[in-house]
Structure 1
Amino acid sequence: MKRIAIFSSKPDDKQFLALANQDKNYELVHFENRLKPETVKLAEGFDGVSCFVNDIVDETALTELHRLGIGIIALRCAGFNNVDLETAQRLGIQVSRVPSYSPESVAEHAVAMILALNRKITRAHLRVKEHNFNLDGLMGFNLQSCTIGVIGTGKIGLATLRALSGFGSRLLCYDPFPSEAGAALGEYVDLPTLYRLSDVITLHCPLTEETYHLINREAIAQMKPGVMLVNTSRGALLNAQDALDGMKQGKIGYLGLDVYEMEGEIFFRDLSGRVLHDDVFALLLSYPNVLVTGHQGYFTREALTEIAQTTLANFDAYYAGHKTGNELF
C-alpha cells in the first residue's frame, strides 16, 4: 500500500479523494498545512505527495523531499507556477498536474462576478435584508450593448467566451497562440486594442514570466474610464497596488477578484475576527465596487470529482511506470 501525503487538505478534499480511492489501495493521509520548507518534514515515511495552488514547492522543499525519498508530486490544480520545475527535474522528482478539471466551473464563476458587480447584487441584497428597497446607486448596464475582452483563450477562456456569447456582447480576445475555436467565438486583437475598447476585461491565462503583473499601471492607463476587471486565474496577473490606485482615480469602476497575489496567508482559512495585515487587500475590501471571493471559481462537484480522480490516476501511472500526459516534463 502506497502512502500519500495530501497537503493543504480541506474537508472536501478528503471527501472526493476518498470516493476516488474506493477502487484503489492508497493510504491517504491529510494535512491542513501547506507544503513549504517549514512543513516538508511531514512527508517523511510517505511514498508520494499531493499539493495545491498555494503550496511552496521551491528548491529547499524539493531538496528535502528528495532526501525523504519522494519521487512524485501530484498537483491538485492546473497551474504550476509555485513549483521549481528545474530543480524537480534535476532531482528526478516527477511533477504531475490536473490540466483540465472543469473549465466551465471557473468560466461560470467569472460570469457570475461580472453580473454581480454590474447589477450590484451584493449591495442590493444587503439593503433588502434591512427592508431598504431604494434603488439609488444600483444602476447597471446591459451586457448586450458592451464590449467584453477575454485575455487567454485556453480551455477556461473558451468556456468563458461560450458563456458570454449568449448576452450578445461584442467579444474581443487576446492570446499569443490564437485558435480557430477562439476566432469562432470572438475577435482576436492585440492587447492595446483590447484595453482601449473593452468595457469589461476578464483574465484567463496562466502565470508566467510574461504574464506576471500583466495588468499594471501602464495597462490600466490604456483602458476605458470605469472599466470592469475580473481575475479568476492567478493573483499575480494583476498588480493589486496599481489596481487600487486605478480605483482611487476612477479609472477602474469595478473589480472582481477570486484570486489575490498574496492569498497564500489568507485564503482557504477562517480568519474571522482577526486583523488583516495586508493593507492593500484590506483597502480593496472596503470599496463597494469590489467583489472578492476566496479562490472558489473551481469549487463545484464536477471539478472536485475530476481533480480527485485525475490526481490518483497520476499516482497510478507513476507507480506502474506509465505516462498520462499530465506530467510537466
Structure 2
Amino acid sequence: MRLAVFSTKKYDIQHLQPALESLGHDVTYLQTRLDDETLPLAEGYPAICIFVNDLLSARGVEFLANAGLKYVLLRCAGFNNVDLATADKFGVKVARVPAYSPHAVAEFAIGLMLMLNRNLHKSYTRVRSGNFSLEGLTGFDMFEKKIGIIGTGKIGLLTGKICKGFGADVVCYDPYPNPAAAAELGMRYVELDELFSTCDIISLHCPLTKATFHMINDKSISEMKDGVMLINTSRGGLIDTVALIKYLKKKKIGQVGMDVYENESGLYFEDTSDDVMQDDVFSRLLTFHNVCITGHQAFLTKEALENIAHETVKNLEDFQADRECKNIVKV
C-alpha cells in the first residue's frame, strides 16, 4: 500500500522504515506538517500517518477521502487533531497508538517535578558559569506532600505509583474512575474541587476534549493552594495560558512544568533558534524562572518509538486484512 508519513524526523524513519518496507509498503516520508494548506501532498494516498501537531480538519478529510484516502494512522495517543465525524461520514478509518510507553511519560512528569522542586535547572546553569551559591535553590521534601493526579489512565496511574514511592499522599480525579486500580496503588479518588484546593502538586494526564479544554483556568487556579506546582505532559489545551501567566505574576502558582503548549503547532519539533519568536504569550512564559518548558519530548524513549512503530504497522495490517483493530478511534 502507498503510505504518506507526515511530520517525520530521523527517529521516526529509523523505527518505522524497517517494519513498513519489510511488508512491501510503498512509503513516502515527509517532514512537512499536514494541515489544510499541505493537503495536496497527501492526495492519492490510500493511507496517511500523522503525529500530534498535524491537522486533519473536516475539509481535509473530505478532500482526501474523495482522492482515495481509506486509513489514517495516528502515531500518538491523542486524536483531537482529526475530525472524526467527517471521517466516519466518508468511511475513513482512524487508528491511534494509545499506550506506546506510559512509563516514558510518567517518568518524565516526575522528572519535571523533581527538577522544579530542587531547582536543578537553575543550579546546572549556575555551576557551568562558576556560581556555586545555594541562595534561591531551596526545595521541599516530596515525602507526605499531597499530589493530585487528574486522569487515571495508564500514565496517570503510573505517575501516581511513582509518587507513592516518595511517600506522598496521592489523590486522583477522573470522570471515569478505576477505583480497583487506584486502591491497589494506595490512591483514592476525590472531587475535582477538593483536589484543586488541597494538593501541593497537580499533574495532568487526560486527553484534550471539549470537556477538558482549559480545565486549568482563572477559576480553577484561584481555588488552588498558594504555591501549587502544575505539571502538564498531556495536551497544551488543558491549560489557559493567559490565566496561567496571570497567577504566576501574582505568585499564586509556585512552579510550572510544561512539556506541551496550547499553541505549539508550527512551533514544536522544529529548530526556530534563528527566527524571531512571534508568539508573545509563549515569550512571556519563558521569562519566569519557576517555569520549565520542554518541547513535547515526554514520549521520546527508545522503547516508546519501537512500540509506536509496531502498533502503527499493526493497525495498518488490521485495516488491510479487514480484521478487528483494537486501536480504532470511533466517533
**TM-score band, normalised by shorter chain:** over 0.9
For residues 28-177 of structure 1, the aligned pairs below 5 Å read 28-177=27-176
**How many Å separate the matches in 1 of 2:319 and 2:170?**
42
The match for 1:9 is 8
3-state SS, counterpart of residue 168 of structure 1: coil
C-alpha displacement of 1:45? 3.4
C-alpha displacement of 1:35? 1.0
C-alpha displacement of 1:60? 1.0
**1:81-119 deviations in Å (ceiling 9; x for gaps):** 111100000011001111110001000000000000000
3-state SS, counterpart of residue 49 of structure 1: strand
Q: Is 1:286 the counterpart of 2:324 in the alignment? A: no
**How many Å separate the matches in 2 of 1:245 and 1:90?**
42
**How many Å separate the matches in 2 of 1:63 and 1:324?**
23
Choose 37-46 or 120-129, whichever is displaced more.
37-46
3-state SS, counterpart of residue 143 of structure 2: helix
The match for 2:235 is 234
Choose 86-95 or 275-284, whichever is displaced more.
275-284
3-state SS, counterpart of residue 288 of structure 1: coil
C-alpha displacement of 1:211? 0.5
C-alpha displacement of 1:27? 1.6
Q: Is 1:277 the counterpart of 2:278 in the alignment? A: yes
C-alpha displacement of 1:22? 5.5
3-state SS, counterpart of residue 327 of structure 2: coil
Q: Is the 8 A contact 2:34 2:55 kept in 1?
A: yes
Aligned amino acid, residue 94 of structure 2: V
Aligned amino acid, residue 241 of structure 1: V
Q: Percent identity?
A: 45
3-state SS, counterpart of residue 73 of structure 2: strand
Aligned amino acid, residue 118 of structure 1: N
**How many Å separate the matches in 2 of 1:86 and 1:22?**
31
3-state SS, counterpart of residue 150 of structure 1: strand
C-alpha displacement of 1:47? 2.4
**1:46-80 deviations in Å (ceiling 9; x for gaps):** 22100011111111111111121010000001110
**1:265-324 deviations in Å (ceiling 9; x for gaps):** 210000002221111111111111000000001000111101011111111111111122
**How many Å separate the matches in 1 of 2:315 and 2:5?**
14
**How many Å separate the matches in 2 of 1:5 and 1:285?**
35
Q: Is 1:209 the counterpart of 2:213 in the alignment? A: no
C-alpha displacement of 1:23? 3.6
The match for 1:318 is 319
Q: Is the 8 A contact 2:21 2:27 kept in 1?
A: no
3-state SS, counterpart of residue 203 of structure 2: strand
Query: Which stretches in structure 2 are left out of the alignment for 5+ residues?
Result: none
3-state SS, counterpart of residue 195 of structure 2: helix
3-state SS, counterpart of residue 144 of structure 1: coil
C-alpha displacement of 1:146? 1.1
TM-score (norm 2): 0.97
Choose 183-192 or 49-58, whichever is displaced more.
183-192
Aligned amino acid, residue 149 of structure 1: G
For residues 183-262 of structure 1, the aligned pairs below 5 Å read 183-185=183-185, 186-262=187-263
Aligned amino acid, residue 184 of structure 1: E
3-state SS, counterpart of residue 132 of structure 2: coil
Choose 111-120 or 14-23, whichever is displaced more.
14-23
**1:245-267 deviations in Å (ceiling 9; x for gaps):** 01000110100100000000210
3-state SS, counterpart of residue 14 of structure 2: helix
3-state SS, counterpart of residue 32 of structure 1: coil
3-state SS, counterpart of residue 172 of structure 2: strand
Query: Which stretches in structure 1 are left out of the alignment for 5+ residues?
Result: none
3-state SS, counterpart of residue 263 of structure 1: coil
3-state SS, counterpart of residue 100 of structure 1: coil
